[in-house]
Each structure stands twice: as structure tokens, then as C-alpha cells.
């Protein structure tokens, strides 16, 4: 039987399509990587140095590949269609616990999980959900985990004799379920979201991509995408554990992620023997450029509240673009400034996965902001996030469950507290009078006209209104004032 992947073919390093074993390196790079100014061997080169025959045409090794957090459903579908893969060796850093989820699935350690009408299965003890149709696969590969210091044992395991012979009739083709999208027109390059909390922001992000995104077929699969999505989170504080768990977010995992965001080390604490990571956000922020950028920014803000040099780049063009684009930061830069004696942070992302990364990233950004706040003596304020490319993976069951949670819990509150001020509307001498006030209640400008349309045009010219709720409320009140002038409305 020949190995024929249904998903992520370009992500798999296929060795012998007629083999019977596989290697998963989780988040540890398969290929060589450049760390700062030196090259570090990837897992493949280390294996070749021990036993080059593992990569010959007659090797039992079918393929070697990473397994990131979003790739498990696709890998399981590939295994169901290729039941000749009877043993899989797992090594590397399990940053998103995708390896743990895979092991639980193979051992049957999962439970039914339903959100509304959506039926899924969840790995027991985790928030990891997948499509139950994957249970139709006729496969039960053996799996064994090895540390990166046990590669000789891993090779011996992979090269063990075959156990069984799979037949073409054993193949099961599983098409992963996808959400049903309805495409609404919009400017794909300009969406803005104002939210109070990270959960509220995440729900709005998911809703906007679901409603206004476009499906784009990348080499690694379909993505529903938007460009240049700007989000402001007014209060990015840590939310209640009860609320987080309701949305399948693990508070302990978020706290650990916050700790990692501030850690300058490239070595994974869970596996010190593993290959250094090509980058970490903490390293790029606190060590990569020869010093702790967060401490330096805090020092500048403390000495000069109006300092505008608080910009740190996590993107190194010489490494991340010129040398290799395979492993490069998604979080590219952060800017800190004193706004009303609070540290305001603006973060930019090259690319963003809204389902599996966005929420964690917001909590990571909050940890960074709080570190600058602590070091500078200023209070932590709002966070602004720009996602240059943001998407959801329609073939990932996490997306299906997330969209269902958003559908059930999203509430769009009415907001007429426009930061540009408020209006009083009255009639005087057969004219409509709209008086614009500063939020601090001082009058700014008076607008007069014989009808609502005249006032509307004046307000539009001055960009006096920023919020849609506020604009609709003013339109309603202007219409009432016009009816009053015409004697069709007794009370205003």
C-alpha cells in the first residue's frame, strides 16, 4: 500500500511511501534552523547523523513532520486513509499539547462533547475537541514518546519489523466537517472592534471573520481571512476562571503562557534537552537585541512621560525574511506610550489564527504590558491589536465549537458613549438645534437647520460622530425634531 496524504501534503517530508512508520516532532523543527548568528541542527539532521539508512528509499519511515496545535484532525484523517502506518514515534517540545491530545485519541481517552446542536469529542482532561467522524478510521497505530536525547532508541523503534499488512479496502476517506459560511460584503482591509474585555474582543473577532471574511485556499488548506483587523481592548485584565472555562479556555494554561511571554530563554523548560527554539517572543523582547527592551522602555517612560521611543521589534529581517521564512514570529512589534498616566500598548501581528492563538496572545500581551507598567511605575491601560492577516481554519473542530460558543453567548451592547462627545437636540425658531458637548460636558459647537438632513450633513462634514450606535440614536432624535417642527409630534 502506498501512502497518499489527503491533507497537508506540502507539510510532510515523505521518505518512503511504502513504509509503515512515522515520526512526529511536535513543535521542534524538523529542518536546520538559524538561531541568532548560528545554525542549529534540526531533528532530521540529528537522525541522519546517527543512522542515514533511515532516510533511504527502502526505509520503514513513511514520513517525518511537525504536529502543531491545529494539525491533529488532518493527521488523523491521513492515518485513516493510510492504515499501513502502524507505529509512530513522538519527540520534541509539546508546546500546545497536541502530542498529548494525539495520545489520548489513540488510547480512547475522550468523551462526547456538545455545544448547542454541534456534536464533537473532547480529549478527556483537556479543551481539545475534534470531529467525531474521525472515529470511523480503521487504524490503531502503536505510539511511543522519546525525548530528544533518546534519538537512537527512537530509530530502533521506527525500524522494528512490521506487525501487519494493510489492504486497500482498509482505507477510510474522512472529509472533515466545515462551518457553513454566508458571505456578507465589506471592506476586507478595514474592520475595527472596540471591546471592554479580552473575551468580548475574541467573540467580536470570531463573529467578524465568520460574517465578513473570504475563503482563501493556501498551500496548507482553506482559511477564512481578513486583512488589517484593528481591535481595542479597554480592560485587558485577567477574567474570572468560571467565565474562561465556559469558553473552553484553561486559566492555568493562560497563566503559563503569560510566564513564557516574559521568559528570555530559547530552551523549553519542559524538555531542557530539546533543540533550542528558533525564536520565542520573550527572547526577542528581552535578550535577542542585546538587552531587555521592556526594561529599557519602562526606564524611558519613567524618566520622560512623553517619550515616544518605546518601540520594540520582534522581527529580524535578516533572519526571518532573508534566511528563512519557515519559522518566524507572528507577533512582530510592540509600541508603548504614556496615555493619561497609563501604559497604552499597541501590538502588531504578521499573521494571526483567531481560533487557537488570538485569545492566548491577548493574555500574553497583557503580561508584557503589566511588566512595563510595574517597571515604570505607571498603571496598565488599554491594549490595541492590529492583525495584518487574520484567519480561522474551517476544517478545525475548534473553529466549529468556537463559532457555536460565540453564537450562543455574543451580546452586542448598545453604546452611545461616543469618545467624540454627546449631543442635545431641540427646536428653536423653526429650526432644529443640535448642540455638541465634550464628554466633560463643555459645549463645543451648535448646529442649526430647517430639517434633519441639513444637520446630518453638517455632522458628517465635521466627523463629529465615531460610533454607529450613537449615529443611529442621533438620526432618530433628528427625525423626531423634524416631526416636531411639522406639528406631527407633541413631545420631543
> Are residues 405 and 429 located together in one domain of the fold?
no
Cβ atoms of 193 and 234 within 8 Å: the answer is no
Tell me the three cell numbers of residue 265: 530563554
Tens of pLDDT, residue by residue over 40-59, are 788 999 999 999 999 999 99
Mean pLDDT across 16-39 = 86
| Domain contains 351 | yes
> Are residues 325 and 243 located together in one domain of the fold?
yes
| Domain contains 121 | yes
Tens of pLDDT, residue by residue over 179-209, are 888 889 999 999 999 999 999 999 999 999 9
* End-of-domain residue from the set 409, 442, 457: 409
* H/E run at residue 429: none
> Are residues 153 and 242 located together in one domain of the fold?
no
Residue 29 is predicted with a pLDDT of 86
* Helix orientation angle between 397-409 and 198-212, rounded to the nearest 10 degrees: 110
Tens of pLDDT, residue by residue over 227-247, are 999 999 999 999 999 999 999
| Domain contains 314 | yes
pLDDT at 491 over 60: no
> Are residues 136 and 216 located together in one domain of the fold?
no
> Are residues 119 and 214 located together in one domain of the fold?
no
> Are residues 226 and 327 located together in one domain of the fold?
yes
HSE toward the beta carbon, residue 300, CA cutoff 13 A: 18
> Are residues 246 and 368 located together in one domain of the fold?
yes
> Are residues 42 and 138 located together in one domain of the fold?
yes
CATH code for the domain of 235 = 3.30.572.10
Cβ atoms of 334 and 368 within 8 Å: the answer is yes
Full domain range(s) for residue 431: 422-485
Cβ atoms of 24 and 74 within 8 Å: the answer is no
Residue 71 is predicted with a pLDDT of 85
The share of the chain scoring above pLDDT 70, in percent, equals 96
| Domain contains 108 | yes
| Domain contains 96 | yes
| Domain contains 389 | yes
pLDDT at 254 over 80: yes
* End-of-domain residue from the set 107, 132, 167: 167
| Domain contains 2 | no
> Are residues 36 and 60 located together in one domain of the fold?
yes
- 290 in the Ramachandran plot: left (φ > 0), alpha (ψ -120 to 50) or beta? left
Query: DSSP H helical segments within 220-291, as ranges?
Result: 241-246, 251-261, 281-286
* End-of-domain residue from the set 366, 388, 409: 409
pLDDT at 165 over 70: yes
Dihedrals phi, psi of 434, to nearest 5 degrees: -115, 115
Core vs surface per residue 298-310: b (16+ CB within 10 A) or e? bebbeeeeeeeeb
pTM (predicted TM-score): 0.84
Mean pLDDT estimate for the chain: 91
pLDDT at 492 over 80: no
Tens of pLDDT, residue by residue over 260-310, are 999 999 886 666 655 677 889 999 999 999 999 999 999 999 999 899 999
Q: Considering only CA atoms, which of 159, 110, 163, 167 is closest in space to residue 138? A: 167
| Domain contains 490 | no
> What do you get for the CA distance between the two ends of the chain, in Å?
80
> Are residues 54 and 201 located together in one domain of the fold?
no
> Are residues 13 and 146 located together in one domain of the fold?
yes
Tens of pLDDT, residue by residue over 355-365, are 989 999 999 99
Structural domain tally of the chain? 3
> Are residues 405 and 439 located together in one domain of the fold?
no
Amino acid at each position: 500500500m502506498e501512502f497518499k496524504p489527503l491533507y497537508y501534503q506540502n507539510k510532510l517530508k515523505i521518505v518512503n511511501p511504502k513504509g509503515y512508520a512515522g515520526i512526529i516532532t511536535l513543535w521542534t523543527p524538523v529542518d536546520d534552523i538559524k538561531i541568532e548568528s548560528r545554525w542549529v541542527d534540526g531533528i532530521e539532521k540529528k537522525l541522519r547523523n546517527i543512522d542515514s539508512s533511515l532516510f533511504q528509499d527502502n526505509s520503514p519511515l513513511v514520513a517525518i513532520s511537525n504536529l502543531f496545535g491545529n494539525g491533529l484532525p488532518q493527521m488523523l484523517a491521513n492515518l485513516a486513509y493510510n492504515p499501513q502506518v502502524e507505529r509512530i514515534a513522538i519527540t520534541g517540545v509539546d508546546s500546545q499539547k497536541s502530542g498529548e491530545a494525539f495520545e489520548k485519541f489513540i488510547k480512547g481517552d475522550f468523551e462526547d462533547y456538545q455545544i448547542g446542536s454541534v456534536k464533537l469529542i473532547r480529549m478527556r482532561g483537556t479543551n481539545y475537541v475534534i470531529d467525531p467522524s474521525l472515529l470511523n478510521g480503521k487504524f490503531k497505530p502503536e505510539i511511543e514518546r522519546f525525548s530528544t536525547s533518546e534519538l537512537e532508541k527512537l530509530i530502533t523503534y521506527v525500524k522494528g519489523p512490521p506487525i501487519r499488512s494493510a489492504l486497500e479496502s482498509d482505507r477510510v476517506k474522512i472529509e472533515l466537517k466545515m462551518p457553513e459560511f454566508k458571505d456578507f460584503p465589506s471592506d476586507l482591509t478595514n474592520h475595527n472592534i472596540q471591546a471592554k474585555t479580552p473575551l468580548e474582543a475574541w467573540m467580536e473577532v470570531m463573529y467578524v471573520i465568520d460574517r465578513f471574511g473570504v475563503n482563501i485556499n493556501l498551500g496548507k488548506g482553506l482559511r477564512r481571512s481578513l486583512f488589517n483587523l484593528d481591535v481595542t481592548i479597554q480592560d485587558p485584565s485577567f477574567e474570572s476562571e468560571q467565565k474562561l472555562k465556559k469558553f473552553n479556555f484553561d486559566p492555568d494554561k493562560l497563566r503559563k503562557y503569560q510566564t513564557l511571554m516574559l521568559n528570555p530563554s530559547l530552551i523549553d523548560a519542559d524538555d531542557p534537552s530539546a533543540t533550542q527554539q528558533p525564536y520565542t517572543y520573550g527572547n526577542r523582547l528581552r535578550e535577542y537585541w542585546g538587552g531587555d527592551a521592556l526594561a529599557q522602555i519602562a526606564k524611558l517612560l519613567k524618566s520622560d512621560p512623553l517619550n515616544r521611543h518605546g518601540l520594540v521589534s520582534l522581527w529580524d529581517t535578516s533572519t526571518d525574511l532573508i534566511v528563512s521564512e519557515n519559522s518566524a514570529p507572528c507577533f512582530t512589534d510592540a509600541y508603548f506610550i504614556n496615555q493619561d498616566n497609563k501604559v497604552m500598548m499597541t501590538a502588531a501581528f504578521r499573521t494571526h489564527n483567531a481560533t487557537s492563538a488570538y485569545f492566548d496572545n491577548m493574555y500574553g500581551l497583557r503580561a508584557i504590558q503589566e511588566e512595563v507598567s510595574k517597571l515604570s511605575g505607571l498603571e496598565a491601560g488599554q491594549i490595541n491589536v492590529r492583525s495584518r492577516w487574520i484567519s480561522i481554519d474551517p476544517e478545525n473542530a475548534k473553529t466549529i465549537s468556537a463559532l457555536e460558543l460565540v453564537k450562543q453567548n455574543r451580546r452586542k451592547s448598545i453604546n452611545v458613549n461616543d469618545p467624540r462627545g454627546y449631543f442635545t437636540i431641540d427646536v428653536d425658531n423653526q429650526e432644529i438645534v443640535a448642540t455638541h458637548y465634550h464628554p466633560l460636558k463643555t459645549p463645543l459647537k451648535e448646529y442649526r437647520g430647517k430639517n434633519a438632513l441639513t444637520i446630518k450633513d453638517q455632522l458628517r462634514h465635521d466627523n463629529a460622530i465615531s460610533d454607529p450606535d450613537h449615529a443611529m440614536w442621533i438620526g432618530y432624535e433628528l427625525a423626531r425634531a423634524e416631526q416636531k417642527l411639522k406639528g406631527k409630534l407633541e413631545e420631543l
